[in-house]
Amino acid sequence: RKEEIEEKKKEIAQQQSKSTRYISVKVRKVIHQEHGIKCSYPGCIRSARTLHHTQRFALANAHDPHFIAPLCEAHHEIAHKIDVKYVEIANRFS
């Protein structure tokens, strides 16, 4: 099963061109197959509410499923708070 998911992820990553911010159904499905509906943070049992780009979308401009993780609200917030550059930019607009 893991090998099948990895092959799908590779195929999707290779097919991508310039992306919009919309995460395609193909990407969502493979992430769902890999992680289910739960947060991907180890030990967390909460439902995932967000698909988080572990590689900043603004820099990569792609929805590579290798760099997307489903996170609950709390872990998504933590992921952004530890990203110093994200916090710096967010503070400019608040």
Output the DSSP codes for 44-92.
--SBP-EEEESS-HHHH-S--GGGEEEE-HHHHHHHHHT-HHHHHHHHH
This prediction has a pTM of: 0.72
pLDDT digits (tens, 9 = 90+) for 38-92: 999 999 999 999 999 988 887 778 889 999 999 999 999 999 888 777 667 767 7
Question: In sequence order, which residues have a C-beta less than 8 Å from that of residue 57 and are 6 or more positions away?
Answer: 19, 21, 63
pLDDT digit string, tens, across residues 3-18: 999 999 888 887 765 6
* Per-residue model confidence (pLDDT) at position 65: 92
pLDDT of residue 15: 77
Phi, psi of 2 (to 5 degrees): -60, -40
Backbone angles phi, psi at 85, to 5 degrees: -65, -40
